[in-house]
Structure 1
Amino acid sequence: MGHLLTEIRKNPMLWLLVAVPVVLVAERTKPDAHTLLFLLSVLAIVPLAALLSRATEAVAARTGDSIGGLLNATLGNLTEMVIAFAALKAGQYALVKASIAGAIVTNSLFMLGGAMLLGGLRYHVQTFNVVAARLQAMLLFAATVALLVPSLITAADRVPAGPAVQNLSAALAVLLILAYGLGLVFSLGTHRSELAAIGPESEHEETWPLALSIGVLAGVTVLVALVSEIFVASVEVAGHSLGLSPAFIGFIVVALVGAAAEMTTAFSAAMRDRLDLAIGIALGSAVQIALFVAPLMVLLSYVIGPTPMGLQFWPGAVIMMMIAALTARFLTSGGRSTWFVGVMILVVYAIFGLTLYLIPPTP
């Protein structure tokens, strides 16, 4: 417990943990104050995600960058998964899809661009394993194509949404999860040596005891679930009062809040010249959202959702996800990075954010 208290004292982001009991109490005493509950839940999710990331780092301390990046991406995505699960259960499929698309774009553009910018400002030129980066970018592109097919087919061929499209979504969900599993076998098994990091060795830092790390992971997961329920219940009314569309909230706000801890880890790694780890977290998280979380939500909708959810996205999300995948693929193909590369990636993300804010999609 001493390790946890020390971490809270030295990390200002964790001071926001005070918002967790506040939002839980406010939900009981002021259930109709949706805007207040929305803002408090956002403030509460950020430190919970940071604590989740810190516990993940402790568990992954003795692994290499490949497994460490996978663990950070997996447990870092837990926040987005819990929020999506709560929205799925409430039947807010527009929020689920917006958060999925936003997580893919945010991780592959904002997180990747930010890591390259911060690392490039500290080091003149950074290098990374181009084979590993190309693999992640290739998986992201393939997954994005599969996610876009139902939307493109229904729009191009004017096929009405119905059982056939839903069956296609379910089949694609199973295919994507299978592809994700095979990708893990490839990157962590048969070709692990080819995908190893080429940067400096991991620094030896004080890590938490394993029991404490697992306990924190379990406790934070429960708290994230409770706060996410409040967030989802208040997001629609709060968004309307703040002048934000559901698409903007899911695509930008939920994605940034959910990925806050992963971003901290990726940015820190890049500033220690461990760009391989930063890229592994950024693109690995985007790939996991596209290949695992999105299809999982489709399959879970048959069990916990009011009706089955398909993989049809609004046209703007289709375009943004495809551009994000192509940008990540193009800018990670050289094996070298500078701060200006990060700026260019961030500019693309800013274009998407401004577009969604000023021209929200039609419901």
Structure 2
Amino acid sequence: MSPLIEELRSTPLLWLLVLVPIVLVAQFLYPEAHTLLFVLSVLAIVPLAALLSLATESVAIRTGDMIGGLLNATLGNLTELVIALTALRAGQYVLVKASIVGAILTNTLFMLGASFLLGGLVHHIQDYNRNTARLQSGLLFLATIAILIPSVLADADNSVTNATFTNTLSVALALLLVVAYGLGLLFSLKTHREFFASAQHGSESELKWPPSLALTTLAVVTVLVALVSEVFVESVQQAAVALGITPAFVGVIIVALVGAAAEMVSAFSAARKDKLDLSVSIALGSAVQIALFVAPVLVLLSYLIGPSPMDLQFWRGAVAMMLIASLTASFVTNAGRSAWFIGALLLLVYVIFGMTLYLLPPRT
């Protein structure tokens, strides 16, 4: 346990971990103090994200950037899954779909763009394996098509898109997306893994955590992030009303940024250390996992824990933003090289979406 204790002593940011029990106790004693719980939960997630980043980096040293990025994306997406399951049980399908859209936009535009920007400010030009980016972008585009079909049909001709048809089509698409995700893992990690080796590994990490300590820390911190995130979800809607923030902005921007905090810390740290392969794997891998695994699983689970079946029919604006995000990610990662200006462009696209959602008037 000495490496972890030493890290806690030497990193002032990790001292904020004391807020984790505080927010859980405050949620029990003052469940109606939504704005207070909102602020405390956000501040508590930050040190948990930093600790998760350190543990993931230690594991990635031994597994490689591709598997390390997949591991980080999987553990990071557990937060989004818990958030979505909480809303799913309550029948808040609009919030579920908004969190899915937000996760995809945040990972492909904000996380990837900020990684390029931060890495480019330290290193003039950075290289990464474009085969990994091409695979992830292709899978993400496939998921966008699967979501686009029921959404377009619903707007085109209401006479043939009844609820039974939409639900049946959504279940079939969900199963296909899960199969596609499994095939993508088989292709990249097994049959053709030689194509997805890191272009460069940057400087050697100074972390010397034993594997057992790193994995235990990952498991414990992930559970704590899930608990704090649940408090965040229960308070964010009322806090948003008190702060004058639109529901669309809350679902697509705020919930997604908080849910992806752990992954962002890891991605940004890796980019500054010239390990851009790990950053790209985390950002695009997380978006692909949300689109091809988490979203389909939520559709299937809605038949078990939801008050009614959930479909893959999204509103037109959401589909347009996901399509633009997937095409933008595919375009900027095609060369396998990056500089700070490319990251700035991705962030500007994200700001355009965020500004639009913030100014969007509430639906009457």
Return the TM-score normalized by structure 1.
0.94
Of 108-117 and 236-245, more deviation after overlay is shown by: 236-245
- Report what 2:224 is aligned to: 223
How far is the alpha carbon of 1:154 from its aligned partner?
0.7
In the TM superposition, 1:134-213 aligns within 5 A as 134-158=134-158, 160=161, 162-200=163-201, 203-213=204-214
Distance 1:342 1:229, change over 3 A: closer
- Report what 2:311 is aligned to: 310
Tell whether the 8 Å contact from 1:53 to 1:76 is kept in structure 2 after alignment.
no
Determine the C-alpha separation between the residues in 2 that align with 1:175 and 1:240: 38
Determine the C-alpha separation between the residues in 2 that align with 1:100 and 1:214: 27
**Residue 41 of structure 2 corresponds to residue 41 of structure 1:** yes
In the TM superposition, 1:56-205 aligns within 5 A as 56-158=56-158, 160=161, 162-200=163-201, 203-205=204-206
- Report what 2:25 is aligned to: 25
Distance 1:56 1:335, change over 3 A: closer
How far is the alpha carbon of 1:282 from its aligned partner?
0.9
How far is the alpha carbon of 1:15 from its aligned partner?
2.6
SS in 1 for 2:63: coil
How far is the alpha carbon of 1:290 from its aligned partner?
0.6
Determine the C-alpha separation between the residues in 2 that align with 1:315 and 1:57: 38
Give the AA of the match of 1:171: A
Tell whether the 8 Å contact from 2:247 to 2:362 is kept in structure 1 after alignment.
no
Q: Deviations over 1:133-181 (max 9, x none)?
A: 1111111111111122221211122355512101111111111111000
How far is the alpha carbon of 1:285 from its aligned partner?
0.9
Unaligned runs of 5+ in 2: none
- Report what 1:295 is aligned to: 296
Tell whether the 8 Å contact from 2:166 to 2:311 is kept in structure 1 after alignment.
yes
Of 49-58 and 321-330, more deviation after overlay is shown by: 49-58
How far is the alpha carbon of 1:229 from its aligned partner?
2.8
Distance 1:51 1:360, change over 3 A: farther
Determine the C-alpha separation between the residues in 2 that align with 1:93 and 1:45: 24
Distance 1:350 1:37, change over 3 A: same
Distance 1:313 1:15, change over 3 A: farther
Distance 1:3 1:151, change over 3 A: same
Determine the C-alpha separation between the residues in 2 that align with 1:156 and 1:182: 32
Of 174-183 and 200-209, more deviation after overlay is shown by: 200-209
Determine the C-alpha separation between the residues in 2 that align with 1:24 and 1:181: 36
Cα root mean square deviation, aligned:
1.8
Determine the C-alpha separation between the residues in 2 that align with 1:228 and 1:250: 13
Give the AA of the match of 1:359: L
Of 2-11 and 34-43, more deviation after overlay is shown by: 2-11
Of 327-336 and 207-216, more deviation after overlay is shown by: 207-216
Q: Deviations over 1:188-240 (max 9, x none)?
A: 11111111111135614323223323332332233233323322222222221
**Residue 362 of structure 2 corresponds to residue 336 of structure 1:** no
Distance 1:157 1:50, change over 3 A: farther
SS in 1 for 2:236: helix
Determine the C-alpha separation between the residues in 2 that align with 1:324 and 1:8: 37
Give the AA of the match of 1:242: L
Distance 1:183 1:202, change over 3 A: farther
Distance 1:346 1:96, change over 3 A: same
Of 222-231 and 91-100, more deviation after overlay is shown by: 222-231
Determine the C-alpha separation between the residues in 2 that align with 1:202 and 1:88: 43
Give runs of ≥4 in structure 1 deviating > 4 Å: none
Q: Deviations over 1:107-155 (max 9, x none)?
A: 0011111111112222222222222211111111111111222212111
Determine the C-alpha separation between the residues in 2 that align with 1:282 and 1:317: 19
Determine the C-alpha separation between the residues in 2 that align with 1:274 and 1:224: 25
How far is the alpha carbon of 1:55 from its aligned partner?
2.4
Q: Deviations over 1:226-282 (max 9, x none)?
A: 323322222222221111222211211111112122112212222222222211111
Give the AA of the match of 2:164: P
SS in 1 for 2:363: coil
- Report what 1:273 is aligned to: 274
Distance 1:316 1:233, change over 3 A: same
Tell whether the 8 Å contact from 1:94 to 1:246 is kept in structure 2 after alignment.
no
State the number of aligned residues: 363
- Report what 2:261 is aligned to: 260
Distance 1:117 1:255, change over 3 A: same
Determine the C-alpha separation between the residues in 1 that align with 2:40 and 2:205: 36
Unaligned runs of 5+ in 1: none
Of 227-236 and 20-29, more deviation after overlay is shown by: 227-236
Determine the C-alpha separation between the residues in 1 that align with 2:162 and 2:235: 29
How far is the alpha carbon of 1:54 from its aligned partner?
2.6
How far is the alpha carbon of 1:306 from its aligned partner?
1.7
Distance 1:221 1:270, change over 3 A: closer
